[in-house]
Amino acid sequence: MNDLKYLDEVEIYFIIPVMMIVIPLVYLVRLKLFDKVVHGIDLRKIDEELERYDALEKELERESHLYQS
């Protein structure tokens, strides 16, 4: 009976690092699937849109510098 208690205490030290990796991975996969399927949100499209805004902002800054010169 005493051996079982010792075995349970040792197993928890092996399970904790595994769960520290598995739980975040499962959560991230769930998050991506949930956003894409349920909300229709595609993260790649959002990133592309943000890049377009950044490019437009840089272009406007260049034009404003030309007019200020």
Q: What is the pTM of this model?
A: 0.44
d(CA 54, CA 57): 5
Q: Is the pLDDT of residue 1 over 70?
A: no
CA dihedral angle for residue 28, residue 33, residue 36, residue 38, rounded to 10 degrees: -120
Model confidence band, residue 4 (pLDDT cutoffs 50, 70, 90): low
pLDDT in tens, 7-66: 667 788 888 999 999 999 999 988 887 777 767 777 788 889 999 999 999 998 888 877
Exposure b/e, 2-22, CB count within 10 A at least 16 = b: eeeeeeeeeeeeeeeeeeeee
pLDDT in tens, 52-61: 999 999 998 8
